[in-house]
């Protein structure tokens, strides 16, 4: 019964974002969203065996909110345009100058599994967005992130260590 209240709360607010097209009935869309939420809960519960129901639901809600935040920002600012299946243009303005970048995203899983600092704290979520679409880190150093050292665990089993003034360069 508790799940029904949570689903109603989540998807009651998210019905604003549902685009009803022609013969699609709102109830079917709603049921589809609930089944996707249940699938997300199942995936999270399989990854984290020690979590209770409430933490699993909270983790699912946080993922949904992050996705909604990103999609709303992209719709409002209209700064990402899709050219074709694999090519995007990102445009932005800094100091009155228009910049456009053509981006062809790296396909496949991320080659970086984890990024740690000198205290062995996991800071992957903070550092990874700076990696760029080719994981080249745009000539940044650990000092940019106020770190003495960054340790990268790669998916091929390698461990790369970059000291304070080393340029972060990962070859895929």
For the chain, which residues make up each domain, given as ranges? 2-77, 112-163
d(CA 99, CA 135) in angstroms, rounded, equals 20
CA atoms within 13 A on the CB side of 151: 9
Quickly list DSSP for 36-92: HHHHHHHHHHHH-TT--HHHHHHHHHHHHHHHHHHHHHHHHH--EEEEETTEEEEEE
pTM here?
Answer: 0.56
d(CA 84, CA 86) in angstroms, rounded, equals 6
pLDDT 10s digits, 42-93:
776 676 665 677 877 787 788 888 888 877 877 777 788 888 888 999 888 8
């Amino acid at each position: 019964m508790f799940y029904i209240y949570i689903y109603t709360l989540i998807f009651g607010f998210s019905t604003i974002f549902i685009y009803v097209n022609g013969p699609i009935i709102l109830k079917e869309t709603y049921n589809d969203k609930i089944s996707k939420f249940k699938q997300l809960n199942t995936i999270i519960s399989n990854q984290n065996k020690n979590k209770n129901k409430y933490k699993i639901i909270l983790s699912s809600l946080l993922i949904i909110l992050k996705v909604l935040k990103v999609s709303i920002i992209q719709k409002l600012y209209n700064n990402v345009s899709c050219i074709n299946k694999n090519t995007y243009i990102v445009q932005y303005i800094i100091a009155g100058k228009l910049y456009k970048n053509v981006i062809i995203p790296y396909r496949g899983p991320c080659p970086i599994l984890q990024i740690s600092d000198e205290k062995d704290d996991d800071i992957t979520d903070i550092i990874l967005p700076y990696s760029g679409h080719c994981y080249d880190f745009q000539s940044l150093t650990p000092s940019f992130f106020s770190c003495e050292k960054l340790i990268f665990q790669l998916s091929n089993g390698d461990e790369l260590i970059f000291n304070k003034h080393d340029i972060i360069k990962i070859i895929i």
